[in-house]
């Protein structure tokens, strides 16, 4: 079983939205998935109550000590993917989840404050030697500002950008808010929309990253081609005018 944790100190960065979006994208890619809610605010449970379909279980686990044993039980039961949503801040439950993750995803809006706020989460992931990746979410405008945000993140991580910055960037669009309000994932709410496309792309990046994390010494040519691909994607994004908040 793979365990993915969404964590960052800052509220409103998109942890819960991305957890739901990725859960459905992974399910559509053929994985058996469970959403684990460690945030007592209960965004995922509320979402599930609005959902008519019972195909995706949201399991609340609020006590740090329960996380590792429950993840082990789920793994033993044959589950393929657990996606853990965490509260803002850095609680004991969040630290426990990161410690037992295969990948810690750190969402950040492309602002200095949000990016700086990733440092404490990053230090936990590093302390437990957990693979991590940044997800730039709610990116409003193209061009220089986003590139700056990407560079700042790379400096924080002191690692090759292509390996730690998830692609694609997730633009700010109403589809994310509307799907959450309707008890749907974005790939169900607007399956042919750009937001759904981006989330499916993010899931593919995660799948690749999960494989790479088993290979500590990435061959240099793979790194170079990943960086090249990322630069191309960024320049394509720069030309894309449709990613401002659109209906």
Ligand X SMILES: Nc1ncnc2c1ncn2[C@@H]1O[C@H](COP(=O)(O)OP(=O)(O)O)[C@@H](O)[C@H]1O
Shortest Å, Cβ 9 to ligand X: 10
Q: Residues of 14-52 as b/e, b for ≥16 C-beta within 10 angstroms?
A: bbbbbbbbbbbbbbbeebebbbbbbbeeebbeebbeebe
Tell me the closest approach of the beta carbon of residue 43 to Mg ion, in angstroms. Answer: 4
Peptide bond into 29 cis (omega under 30): no
Q: Which of 3, 38, 43, 94 binds ligand X (CB under 6 A)?
A: 43
Pair 45, 60: CB distance under 8 Å: yes
Q: How far is the CB of 83 from Mg ion (least distance, A)?
A: 12
Q: Does residue 38 belong to the site contacting ligand X (CB under 6 A)?
A: no
Least gap, CB of 153 to ligand X (angstroms): 16
| DSSP assignments along 78-115, one per residue | T--EEEEE--SS--HHHHHHHHT-SEEEEEE-SSHHHH
Is 137 near ligand X (CB under 6 A)?
Answer: yes
Q: Is 15 in the site for Mg ion (CB under 5 A)?
A: yes
Instruction: Determine if 17 is a binding residue for ligand X (CB under 6 A).
Output: yes
Please list, in sequence order, all residues whose beta carbon lies within 8 angstroms of the beta carbon of residue 148, skipping any fewer than 6 positions away.
none
CA-CA distance, 184 to 179, in Å (whole number)? 5
Binding mask 64-103 for ligand X (x = CB under 6 A): ------------------------x---------------
Sort strands 103-108 and 81-85 into parallel, antiparallel or unpaired.
unpaired
3-state class (DSSP) for residue 40: coil
Binding to Mg ion in span 29-88, by CB under 5 A: 43
Applying CB under 6 A, which part among 45-53, 93-101, 140-148, 175-183 lies near ligand X?
175-183
CB of residue 17 to Mg ion, shortest distance in Å: 8
With CB cut-offs between 5 and 8 Å by kind, which of Mg ion, ligand X, none does residue 137 bind?
ligand X
Other CB atoms within 10 Å distance of the CB of residue 78: 8
How far the first Cα of the chain sits from its last, in Å, is: 37
Among 12, 60, 89, 140, binds ligand X (CB under 6 A): 12
Chain residues 179-238 in contact with ligand X, contact rule CB under 6 A: 180
Q: Is 173 in the site for ligand X (CB under 6 A)?
A: yes
The nearest distance, CB 214 to ligand X, in angstroms, is: 28
- Least spacing, CB of residue 137 vs ligand X, in Å: 5
Q: Given its phi and psi angles, is residue 167 left (phi above 0), alpha (psi -120 to 50 degrees) or beta?
A: beta
The closest of 73, 128, 97 to 15, measured between CA atoms, is 97
Q: Which is nearer to ligand X, 82 or 226 (CB)?
A: 82
Binding residues (CB under 5 A) for Mg ion: these are 15-16, 43
Binding residues (CB under 6 A) for ligand X: these are 11-17, 43, 88, 137-138, 170, 172-173, 176-177, 180
């Amino acid at each position: 079983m793979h365990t993915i944790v969404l964590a960052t100190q800052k509220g409103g960065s998109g942890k819960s939205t991305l957890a739901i979006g990725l859960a459905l994208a992974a399910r559509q890619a053929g994985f058996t998935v469970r959403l684990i809610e460690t945030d007592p605010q209960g965004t995922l449970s509320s979402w599930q109550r609005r959902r008519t379909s019972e195909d995706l279980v949201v399991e609340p686990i609020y006590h740090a000590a329960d996380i590792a044993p429950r993840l082990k039980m789920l793994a033993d039961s044959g589950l393929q993917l657990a996606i853990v949503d965490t509260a803002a801040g850095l609680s004991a439950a969040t630290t426990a989840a990161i410690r037992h993750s295969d990948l810690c995803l750190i969402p950040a809006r492309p602002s200095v404050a949000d990016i700086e706020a990733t440092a404490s989460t990053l230090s936990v992931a590093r302390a437990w030697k957990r693979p991590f990746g940044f997800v730039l979410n709610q990116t409003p405008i193209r061009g220089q500002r986003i590139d700056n945000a990407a560079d700042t993140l790379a400096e924080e991580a002191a690692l090759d950008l292509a390996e730690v910055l998830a692609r694609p960037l997730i633009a700010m669009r109403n589809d994310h808010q509307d799907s959450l309000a309707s008890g749907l994932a974005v790939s169900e709410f607007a399956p042919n929309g750009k937001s759904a496309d981006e989330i499916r792309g993010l899931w593919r990046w995660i799948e690749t990253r999960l494989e790479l994390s088993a290979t500590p010494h990435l061959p240099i040519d793979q790194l170079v081609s990943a960086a090249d691909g990322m630069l191309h994607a960024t320049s394509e994004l720069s030309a894309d005018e449709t990613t401002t908040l659109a209906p």
